[in-house]
Amino acid sequence: MESLHPRVRLLWVLSTVIQASVLGVIAYLVDRFAVSLPQTVIVGGWVVLVLLGVAHAIAAHRIWRFDLQDDALFLLRGVVTRTDTSVPYVRVQHVDTTRGPVERAIGLASVVVYTAGTRGADITIPGLRPERATELREQLRDLANESEATDAV
C-alpha cells in the first residue's frame, strides 16, 4: 500500500483557504451592500473553515492509500465515509496525469483513471510527485493493455 506525498496536505489546506476566502469576500460584499453582518462572524467563519480544512487534510492524508494489486487498482479513502474502490485493470478506458495551478505551484501531480461505469467513472489519485505520476500512468496503461480482452463495456 502506497500513501500520498505528505505535501498533499498543503495542497488540500491551500484549496480550503482559497474556498474560505471566496466565501469571505462574498460575505464582505453582502455586508457592504445588503445585510450588515458582524465582523466576528465573517472572520470567525473563515478561521473555523480553515481549521476544519486543516483537520480534514491531516486525517485524509492518514487514511489515503492506493495499491496496484494483481488484477485491480485498489484505493482506500474517505474521512467521514470510508470507501475502498477496486478498479479492475480490464475496465480501465484511459489514464490521464493532470496538474492544476496550485498543484504546479507545490510541485505535485494527479493521476486520473477512467472507466466506462456510471458512478466513479473517473477516479483521481492526488498528491503524487510528477515522476511518480508519470510512472504510475505508464504502469496502469501497461496493466490495462496486458489484461485487455474485451471492449471494456
Partner 1 sequence: MNRLHPRSAVLRVARAALQGGFFGFFGGSLGTGMLGLPGFAVPLLGLLGALTFSGYALARYLRFRYELDGDTLTVESGVFARQSRQIPLGRVQNLDVEQNIINRLLGLAIVRFETAGGSATEATLDAVDETEVKRLRNYVRTHDRDEATGTETGAADAVSEAATSSRAAHADLPGVNGSTPARTGDAQTADDFGDPVSASDTAERDQPDGSLLFAFDQRELLTYALVSVRPAAPVLTLASLPLGMDVVWAVLRFNATLSGASLNGPVVRWLASSPETTRLVVFAALSAIQFLLLALVVSVALTVIEYYGFQLTQADGDLRYERGLLRRYSGNIPMEKVQTVTIRENILMRRFGYATLAVETAGYSGGNQQSTQGVAVPLAPREEVYELARDIEPFGDLNFDRSPTRARRRYLARFSLAAAGLTAVAYAVDSLVLATGYWWLAALLFLPVVPAAHLRWRHRGFDLDDSVLATRSGFWRRTTRIVPYYRLQTVFVTRSPFQRRRDLATVGADTASSSSLLGGVARVYDIDEDTASELRDTLREHLTAHVAGLRTGDRVSDADS
Neighbouring C-beta atoms of residue 34, cutoff 10 Å: 8
Cα–Cα dist 43/26, whole Å: 12
Residues 44-83 as x/- pattern, contact with partner 1 by CB under 8 A? ---------------------------xx-----x-xxxx
Rounded (5°) CA angle 59-76-112? 105
Q: Which is nearer to partner 1, 20 or 72 (CB)?
A: 72
**Residue 143 interacting with partner 1 (CB under 8 A):** no
**Residue 145 interacting with partner 1 (CB under 8 A):** no
Residues 81-140 that bind partner 1 (CB under 8 A): 81-88, 90-91, 115-121, 123
| Contact indicator for 59, 11 with CB cutoff of 8 Å | no
Q: Which is nearer to partner 1, 42 or 123 (CB)?
A: 123
> With 0-12 CB in 10 A as exposed, 13-18 as middle and 19+ as buried, what is 36?
exposed
Query: Using CB under 8 A as the criterion, which residues of the chain lie in contact with partner 1 when the complex forms?
Result: 71-72, 78, 80-88, 90-91, 115-121, 123, 147, 149-151, 153
